[in-house]
């Protein structure tokens, strides 16, 4: 059952081949069996079985939609009413969310079953899952390596077939990079496409939730449910939601693919470059035209990103003060001591670095030199993308400069860790949609192909990805021991 697509699972439920309770029990037992992957922070077994029973009743009446009765899982950044929501932090280790994120409401309305909450880097700050208070999730392709981050638990769980699909969030690559490192399909939608209400904030002008799944067709189903305008999110965009599956099977007629020169520089591992080239060749075989494009400001994406993200992080995380929810230190002497020690004791090192960096960048006398400068650079980067996407339909390139690295390899050097986001970060600055799809292997570790599209053209990305997945089987490969 765990190797089936969402559409196959839905068909199985409707033909009574298995019930939602049986399907849920199957995935719960796989989660139990593969606990050592540390993909889940919380397994919500009781709620899952309750939701499955309700779904079975609906299915018995031929009621419900495609996702009714299908077990899925949430990144632990989405608030779930009555269920612990930690964001990977000691700060929220005791936080039972008092309301649902809009995304979670949509899953519930669709009748989906929630298996649990997935591991992640603390407050989504990290590219390896190693900043999680609960310890890193492991990559099912090689348990000595990282699953990527910050949505590493989501990617690991999907690759290991512990859940058919899951949610992720992407601020600088946090859906795409773990998807690439674990050999699954992930989509970061256009900024504003999926509601951020109840999605714990890191950098509000960059954060965006999206689907992670085993194929583009499954991701389309999930995005269909997640996308849409939400009055509860002031940055949600009121733009019609198309049928994301409608054109999946349409062949790509004369697709124009742009290859940013800056994505294929000498920094890119040669073996990964060959895998990406082979994937692009596959597209040219089906009639796509290739064009080289130059995006001269891309080199400045990492510095601009780390100013903007850190600044927004320091503002957003000021809410953790030990007063209304979250961690409070023992025996505070006075108010200041309570703030300082609660935050000092409950935040991990990476979160502290970014709060400090952001506080500095926003402090009097430095605002213009850092934050304002970064926002101007952001405009230049965004203009590069606008120019490139006026010449081509999609852009393609690598997702990550390397395959999954060893656990512990980069934890001592934060800058080294930041550089692993080099191909993903600029897309968040521009607010564009982008995907990572499995494109091959280097030394038996998965490599992701990145496909970047214009604003609100998620359907085109999904179609482009699906057409590739029709003629390749990289996305169907399963890590050893998880078949």
Residue 282 vs 321, nearer CB to other proteins: 321
Cβ atoms within 10 Å of 35's Cβ, excluding its own: 11
Task: Give the three-state DSSP class for 385.
Answer: helix
Contact 147, 129 (CB under 8 A): yes
Q: Does 75 participate in catalysis according to the annotation?
A: yes
- Report the chain's C-alpha Rg in angstroms: 21
Residue 130 C-beta: closest distance to other proteins, Å: 16
Residue 419 C-beta: closest distance to other proteins, Å: 9
Distance (Å) of CA 345 to CA 85, 201, 411: 19, 20, 20
User: Using CA atoms, how far apart are residues 297 and 90, in angstroms rounded to an integer?
Assistant: 38
User: Using CA atoms, how far apart are residues 160 and 481, in angstroms rounded to an integer?
Assistant: 9
Residue 87 vs 279, nearer CB to other proteins: 87
Helix ranges, 401-453 (H): 414-419, 425-430
Q: Are strands 113-118 and 445-452 parallel, antiparallel or unpaired?
A: unpaired
Which residue is catalytic, options 44, 174, 314, 436? Answer: 174
User: Using CA atoms, how far apart are residues 89 and 131, in angstroms rounded to an integer?
Assistant: 9
Residue 482 C-beta: closest distance to other proteins, Å: 36
Which residue is catalytic, options 75, 106, 117, 460? Answer: 75
Residue 128 C-beta: closest distance to other proteins, Å: 16
Residue 457 C-beta: closest distance to other proteins, Å: 14
Q: Does 150 participate in catalysis according to the annotation?
A: yes
Residue 219 vs 429, nearer CB to other proteins: 429
Distance (Å) of CA 403 to CA 268, 316, 440: 11, 32, 11
Distance (Å) of CA 355 to CA 95, 227, 343, 416, 465: 21, 30, 11, 19, 37
Residue 5 vs 205, nearer CB to other proteins: 205
Supply the residues annotated as catalytic: 75, 150, 174
């Amino acid at each position: 059952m765990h190797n089936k697509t969402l559409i196959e699972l839905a068909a199985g439920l409707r033909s009574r081949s298995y019930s939602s309770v049986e399907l849920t029990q199957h995935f719960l037992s796989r989660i139990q069996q593969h606990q050592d992957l540390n993909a889940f922070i919380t397994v919500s077994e009781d709620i899952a079985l309750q939701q499955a029973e309700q779904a079975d009743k609906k299915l018995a009446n031929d009621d419900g939609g495609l996702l009714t009765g299908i077990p899925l899982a949430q990144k632990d950044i989405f608030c779930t009413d009555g269920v612990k929501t930690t964001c990977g932090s000691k700060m929220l280790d005791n936080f039972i969310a008092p309301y649902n994120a809009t995304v979670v409401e949509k899953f519930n309305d669709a009748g989906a079953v929630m298996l649990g909450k997935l591991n992640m880097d603390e407050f989504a700050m990290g590219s390896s899952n190693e900043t999680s208070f609960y310890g890193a999730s492991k990559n099912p392709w090689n348990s000595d390596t990282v699953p990527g981050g910050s949505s590493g638990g989501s990617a690991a769980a999907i690759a290991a077939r512990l859940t058919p699909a899951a949610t992720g969030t992407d601020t600088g690559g946090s859906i795409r990079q773990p998807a690439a490192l674990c050999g699954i399909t992930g989509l970061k939608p256009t900024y504003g496409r999926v509601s951020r209400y109840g999605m714990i904030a890191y950098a509000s002008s960059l954060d965006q939730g999206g689907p992670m799944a085993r194929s583009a067709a499954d991701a389309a189903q999930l995005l269909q449910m997640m996308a849409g305008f939400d009055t509860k999110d002031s940055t949600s965009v009121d733009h019609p939601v198309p049928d994301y599956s409608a054109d999946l099977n349409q062949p790509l007629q004369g697709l124009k693919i742009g290859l940013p020169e800056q994505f294929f520089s000498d920094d890119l591992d040669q073996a990964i470059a060959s895998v990406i080239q082979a994937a692009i060749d596959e597209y040219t075989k089906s009639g796509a035209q290739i064009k080289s494009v130059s995006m001269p400001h891309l080199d400045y994406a990492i510095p601009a990103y780390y100013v903007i993200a850190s600044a927004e992080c320091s503002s957003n995380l000021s809410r953790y003060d030990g007063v209304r929810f979250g961690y409070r230190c023992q025996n505070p002497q006075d108010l200041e001591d309570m703030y300082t020690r609660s935050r000092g004791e409950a935040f991990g090192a990476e979160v502290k670095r970014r709060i400090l960096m952001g506080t500095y960048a926003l402090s009097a006398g430095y605002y213009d030199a850092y934050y304002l400068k970064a926002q101007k650079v952001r405009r230049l980067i965004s203009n590069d993308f606008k120019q490139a996407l006026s010449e081509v339909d999609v852009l393609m390139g690598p997702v990550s400069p390397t395959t999954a690295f060893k656990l512990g390899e980069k934890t001592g050097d934060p800058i080294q860790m930041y550089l692993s986001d080099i191909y993903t970060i600029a897309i968040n600055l521009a607010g564009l949609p982008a995907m990572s799809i499995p494109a091959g292997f280097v030394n038996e570790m998965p490599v992701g192909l990145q496909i970047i599209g214009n604003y609100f053209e998620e359907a085109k990305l999904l179609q482009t990805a699906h057409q590739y997945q029709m003629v390749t089987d990289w996305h169907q490969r399963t890590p050893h021991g998880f078949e």
